[in-house]
Amino acid sequence: MNIEEEIKKCEIFLKQIKQYDPDPFYVNYFFIKYINSIENIINGIFEEANTDFGLFISEKITQKKFHNKAKAKQDFNALKFSEWFSNKYEIEHKNPYPNIMNKIRQFKNMNEKLPEIKIMMRGTERYKDDFYQEIKIDLKNKKIISKEQLEIEIKRQTPIFLEIINKKRNENEEPKVTKKKITSSAFLTLEDEQKIEIMYLCQIYTPVIRRLLDESRDKIKKIKFQ
């Protein structure tokens, strides 16, 4: 596997999510591809480690298979890397958005699909715990039929949206949202009812997986040549 190609794919899928946002069908389609590339990158890290540590695992490699083979061979360097990666992954995913991405990946792996994606109104400038309002319009096969209908519905719901979001903004001494500072994006909702903007999540997570890859490669070198 070429991990650098998977990193490029993540960047391409992010651009496509931005392009089609807030269309639920296309955002869902490219977000699944994005998540699949993340899975490939993580497995690819252990493919590289398999080669570097000479474990000779022939089947498709996962961290679990890598760890079990290292344990069976009593390869302490390989075990050291596996344990380091687990700790590093946990640290990286303690932050809110990486943690959310981890939950979404787990949901997809368990259910073979993503949580339902909905179109939501939001302020163009993002602030923590902002209010988001669902926009219900006609869809065909989960695709937006009419952008004009979307714009009409946004205008119709704008007064209520502004009232609610600005109440929160005022209480937190944050900038007021005006009707010119409203947009729509594709969101999904996790089990705890937390609403997640998919495009923004991917923007934040792409550097995280890049850093995890780079630091993993550095760690392998340090362990091998210590």
Q: What is the pLDDT of residue 213?
A: 97
Residues 33 and 108 in one domain: yes
Q: Is residue 122 part of a domain?
A: yes
pLDDT score of 202: 98
Give yes or no: residues 89 and 24 share one domain.
yes
Q: Looking at the domain assignment, is residue 35 inside a domain?
A: yes
Tens digits of residue pLDDT in 148-205: 999 999 999 999 999 999 999 999 999 999 999 999 999 999 887 889 999 999 999 9
Cα maximum dimension of the chain: 66
- 179 part of a folded domain: yes
The answer to whether residues 67 and 167 belong to one domain is: no
Q: Do residue 180 and residue 70 come from a single domain?
A: no
CA distance 91 to 94: 5
pLDDT at 88 exceeding the cut of 80: yes
CB within 8 A of 198, min separation 6: which ones?
17, 21, 27, 31, 117, 185, 186, 187, 188
- pLDDT (average), residues 40-68: 93
Same domain, 80 and 7: yes
Examine the domain organization and report whether 163 and 130 are in the same domain: yes
Same domain, yes or no, for 70 and 143? no
What does the pLDDT read at residue 144? 97
| Mean pLDDT value across residues 203-214 | 97
35 and 75 part of one domain: yes
Compute the average pLDDT of residues 203-224: 96
Region 34-43: mean pLDDT is 97
The candidate with the shortest Cα–Cα distance to 79, out of 62, 61, 66, 92, is 66
> Same domain for 49 and 18?
yes
Give the range of the structural domain holding residue 155, as residue numbers without chain letter.
Answer: 117-189
| 194 Rama class: left (phi>0) / alpha (psi -120 to 50) / beta | beta
In a domain, 195, yes or no: no
For residue 196, being part of any structural domain is answered with: no
Average of per-residue pLDDT across 118-131: 96
Inside any domain, residue 136: yes
Assess if residue 121 is contained within a domain: yes
Identify the band that residue 59 occupies on the pLDDT scale cut at 50, 70 and 90. Answer: confident
Mean pLDDT of 198-225: 96
Q: Are residues 79 and 162 in the same domain?
A: no
**Residue 207 preceded by cis peptide, ω within 30:** no
Q: Are residues 15 and 92 in the same domain?
A: yes
Q: So what's the pLDDT on residue 193?
A: 82
- φ/ψ region of 85 (left if φ > 0, alpha if ψ in -120 to 50, else beta) reads alpha
Is the same domain home to 122 and 179?
yes
Q: With respect to residue 194, please indicate whether it lies within any of the assigned structural domains.
A: no
- pLDDT tens sequence across 26-38: 999 999 999 999 9
Please give the model's pTM, rounded to 2 decimal places: 0.94
Mean pLDDT over residues 116-145, rounded?
A: 96
Domain count across the chain: 2
